[in-house]
Structure 1
């Protein structure tokens, strides 16, 4: 369950081409047993409307803020140096359950159609935790065209602390962590948590990120994540360097420097932000009906030239406002790997933007098929009601089509239950997503958790084949 305002929310190798093991097929088959009577229609959002005026496009303009290298180096030296992704993978300490080990409630959260061809469930403790919420996914297929980071295939999943859960201590509120998942062996995914933090200006300490990380993209050596409207520095995006992961030395609930060393709320690794972006028009306000966008979902589009970061904003399902979808180009400069294309003043302009009647957007993708002039936009719509499948829409200037699990207009609710961000692994043709919930039977956070969390992949070709 997200913390949402009336206006906008804060919020994604070759061996992977193999078919899913029989047990995983059994899981996706189980999901299709969900009654199609649940698949009631949602209003068709119609065509995208292009945003073309300079004044409207300026609403998306960002200002880049780089953390001084000297400050980052000071922090790294104080903590004993940096490690990379491979070091985290060598010390994974949790194992994901394959299809056969997933609970029935988890299987039922999968898309009805098109069916997932890969599906995994979390370690039992994380699957049932009401203190944490999975929000976003990105992969080494985003990071590098060959789908590898070094010698490894990796999936990253961003989770935020559930501040809506009663009785949570202040030290836990706003925490954000990333599961670094070893995907080299698809029959046995393992992972380890890394806490996201923000360094002080001089590099003498760090604080918690305080974000829902509803959007996340790993591009080259950088990880870009969404910030919260309440961010103390009024940032919209934070940037992390995947080569600057650092070890904590003290096991305590604190975050930052403590007597005897460095603490990361009990986690063994932290990543300090190396840059950030703020909106030049001022911080967004999720309770105000203004034009300043609050970032929701993010994803990478490798089909654009140059590669681009795409974003969406969130309104409650059925809201009157039009949601917006937009993109920024990544820089091609050798000394700016993974950063957005900025001008000499550090300004980053949106290169394209649209508005749509689609609401409740929990995931966004943009992809241009070979031979096509323009990209298609995909958005995942999540209903507010419990135990309801979402809708996956493909939007363009001509109209909207939905992935269907039936033959009539009452069959659009076919996507995952409360599915979150979307990430396209171009090398394998798969769209990855994940579902969020582990609420109690009343959709609250008081009673026994009902696990409904699953990480899954669906071929993009299956999605386009199911569109009507």
Structure 2
């Protein structure tokens, strides 16, 4: 949660928490004191996580690809127009001195460019990378990371900056953490891509609109990118369907599209096909949704932070487990802010991936979950599993975050070892598995959401804020008692 930033009007994962904030603070005064009321029915019911495919969008996406040229991931990286800093040039340090337990300093860290580090409009959430996508951990010759941001549209920022008023939905950042920028050894290029939902407009033409989700977790497998859709399930995008609205790279002149119309990248207020012009809120690249998965069970949760223990879970965050090559899995969990009336801490489940297609494995028309457990702690913002060990990021307002480990013991998911203090505002998790080379290090990646500003909390000693992408060596995490 981001206390010091404007409240977003449509955040299914965090939305609704402002009204209950006073009660939440009383119930959970510090991160080290979560609500731990008993949860019935452990392990959780796996079938609650079952999914079924949504509507077929392939025809509309094909029509859009006939109108607009496509670009690949390597081209996105080559044309990165923003520069992240690493090494000594990344001075942002949200790791503080620790609110509860010893701080684990990151082995790797990258800082966004100044505009993305300070923006109030976009909030970082999800992270994945090529180690999820490919067993050899390479996309061509590159090792990209991908992050997701949601648009915190609305007042008060909108009243002073009209360009932020439209709800632009979700954007991705494609970043190459390995390749230095020529002349800037500590620089790493990245590029934003806007996610869009295809539809057929009232004139019968293929168009697209903003993707209205929180994007608290993303996961990349083969060509497919999964995005958590909190109260529904998953949305799926295809890396082969990135549409280019400005192939001549001259933003001042509208390009002619493949179907003889125009595309525009200067109008921040518009998106989709309007009056025979394609727009993308000024973004050069848009990536249309190609598929979706919906929960089979009824959804008993609401957009508020509390949860129920039965029915469909929230899809708050996701990751990929590649530790068993023959049985890759998508890990999905839910964010819950427990209180006296709602003691549920959330659940985490596993869904099978079909390695031949990169889509979820179906039995008939259903994706059948292989496991589900109640979480040992609430306030969980991200989860990953590797070689049977679960890793959880927890955060609470502007307190230092908490990295927890857990294993399945006697049919329950229980804490393994003690708390590890990490950054303020940690979010989604991604495992760089290091299987492609015998000497490759394994990393547990994450990112932080809070801006560094003058709000009380961010300037307090021991609880600094600031947006970074960071990684711990998995061996360092496992070595902690």
Cα distance in 1 for partners of 2:321, 2:311 equals 25
TM-score by length of 2: 0.77
| 1:290-309 equivalent positions in 2, closer than 5 A | 291-304=311-324, 305-309=326-330
Q: Which residue does the alignment assign to 1:331?
A: 354
Q: Deviations over 1:302-324 (max 9, x none)?
A: 11441000011011166621310
Q: Deviations over 1:112-158 (max 9, x none)?
A: 63221111100000001111110011011111011111222101010
Q: Secondary structure at the match of 2:319?
A: strand
Q: Which of 72, 89, 106 pairs up with 1:101?
A: 89
Q: Which of 59, 74, 79 pairs up with 2:48?
A: 59
Q: How far has the Cα of 1:357 moved from its partner?
A: 3.6
Q: How far has the Cα of 1:98 moved from its partner?
A: 1.9
Cα distance in 1 for partners of 2:118, 2:96 equals 16
Q: How far has the Cα of 1:171 moved from its partner?
A: 5.2
Structure 1 gaps of 5+ residues are 12-38, 230-234, 369-374, 404-411
Q: Which residue does the alignment assign to 1:257?
A: 273
8 Å CA contact retained: 1:51, 1:352: no
Q: Which residue does the alignment assign to 1:397?
A: 408
Structure 2 gaps of 5+ residues are 16-29, 181-185, 246-262, 435-440, 459-463
Q: Secondary structure at the match of 1:189?
A: strand
Q: Deviations over 1:56-104 (max 9, x none)?
A: 333221111253433221111112x322111211211000022323345
Q: Does 1:285 align with 2:296?
A: no
Aligned in 2, Cα 1:297/1:443: closer, same or farther, shift over 3 Å? farther
Q: Which of 244, 248, 252 pairs up with 1:247?
A: 244
Q: How far has the Cα of 1:183 moved from its partner?
A: 2.8
TM-score by length of 1: 0.79
Q: How far has the Cα of 1:46 moved from its partner?
A: 11
Q: How far has the Cα of 1:175 moved from its partner?
A: 1.2
Q: Deviations over 1:361-393 (max 9, x none)?
A: 01101111xxxxxx1211111123x2x211111
Q: Which residue does the alignment assign to 2:194?
A: 195
Cα distance in 1 for partners of 2:97, 2:120 equals 17
Q: Which of 139, 149, 163 pairs up with 1:149?
A: 139
Aligned in 2, Cα 1:237/1:115: closer, same or farther, shift over 3 Å? same
Q: Deviations over 1:271-315 (max 9, x none)?
A: 001100111224553347463211111110011441000011011
Question: RMSD in angstroms over aligned alpha carbons?
Answer: 3.2
Aligned in 2, Cα 1:268/1:451: closer, same or farther, shift over 3 Å? farther
| 1:72-87 equivalent positions in 2, closer than 5 A | 72-79=61-68, 81-87=69-75
8 Å CA contact retained: 1:4, 1:286: no
Q: Secondary structure at the match of 1:97?
A: strand
Cα distance in 2 for partners of 1:137, 1:247 equals 23
Larger mean CA deviation between 298-307 and 158-167 belongs to: 158-167
Cα distance in 2 for partners of 1:444, 1:116 equals 22
Q: Does 1:69 align with 2:58?
A: yes
Q: Which of 150, 153, 176 pairs up with 1:182?
A: 176
Cα distance in 2 for partners of 1:42, 1:461 equals 27
Q: Deviations over 1:151-190 (max 9, x none)?
A: 2210101011124752436853261000011234164311
Q: Which of 455, 463, 473 pairs up with 1:442?
A: 455
8 Å CA contact retained: 1:182, 1:191: yes
Q: Which of 404, 408, 431 pairs up with 2:444?
A: 431
Cα distance in 1 for partners of 2:39, 2:477 equals 19
8 Å CA contact retained: 2:35, 2:343: no
Q: Deviations over 1:9-62 (max 9, x none)?
A: 279xxxxxxxxxxxxxxxxxxxxxxxxxxx984459699998568xx3332211
